[in-house]
Homo-oligomer: A and B are copies of this chain.
Amino acid sequence: MSRQPFHHGNLRAELLERAEAVLRERGVEKLSLRELARDAGVSHGAPRSHFIDRGALLDALAERGFDRLAKAVEAAVRTLPKDSRTDFGLLRAAGSAYLDFAAHNPDLAALMVAAKADDTSRPVHDAALRLFTTMTALVTTALSPRFNDRETAERLTLLLSATVQGICSLMTSGRISATQGDALLDDAIHVFIAGAVSNTP
């Protein structure tokens, strides 16, 4: 009945939770396995049982980031008022969710982008694909009158994702303000829709 049971029982989850907070509040540089262990009241070697190394923890964070972002995008689209459910409105809502996520979790967003698709980081890549699937469904819904083949949908989604992601980077790196980012997103979606129309067979 010790208050600190030998088996923490929840260490992995707690480390991730705490790591996300550190990431938000102090950045990747300051994220240390040893400090995480200390804060969890566990020895410095303990995290090793859950994450083979620091990179594995970062990968796990990126993976969770992609899933959270996908959920945020889905929620933004779902809660969109009926009169805003135009093609533009839908894509704009998704893009905004993206930007908000990046603005509130800049270092996590950077981690997600940086995470290489190694053999070891397969879960990260899969999570990125899940987000891509969400985005593809959305683009298909928004632009469905214009085309109906899946390949076109995926190419356009890739393009939109890249663009939105680029806007996020400009914002988080301070190249443009949040307001400018919002305006740029508007431009992006206008151009995207207009350009997609004239480039779709």
Instruction: State the A residues within 8 Å of B (CB).
Output: 110, 113-118, 125, 128, 155-156, 158-159, 161-167, 169-170, 172-176, 180, 183-184, 187-188, 190-196, 198-199
A188 vs chain B, min Cβ distance (A): 6
**A163-B163, A191-B191, A194-B195 are contacts. A169–B113 as well, Cβ < 8 Å?**
yes
Q: How many copies does the complex hold?
A: 2
Query: Can you list 25 A-B pairs with a CB-CB distance of less than 8 A?
Result: A110-B113, A110-B114, A113-B113, A115-B173, A116-B172, A117-B173, A117-B175, A118-B174, A125-B174, A125-B175, A128-B175, A159-B163, A159-B188, A162-B163, A162-B166, A162-B170, A162-B188, A163-B163, A163-B166, A163-B188, A165-B166, A165-B169, A166-B167, A191-B199, A195-B198
CB neighbours of A125 from chain B (8 A): 174-175
- Judge whether B194 and A199 touch: CB under 8 Å: yes
Contact with A198, one of B155, B172, B176, B198 (Cβ below 8 angstroms): B198
- Judge whether A162 and B184 touch: CB under 8 Å: yes
Describe A's contact surface by its main secondary structure: helix
CA distance A118 to B174 in the complex (A): 8
CB neighbours of A188 from chain B (8 A): 159, 162-163
CA distance A147 to B113 in the complex (A): 34
- Judge whether A169 and B170 touch: CB under 8 Å: no
- Judge whether B187 and A155 touch: CB under 8 Å: yes
A73 vs chain B, min Cβ distance (A): 16
CA distance A158 to B188 in the complex (A): 10
CA distance A21 to B83 in the complex (A): 55
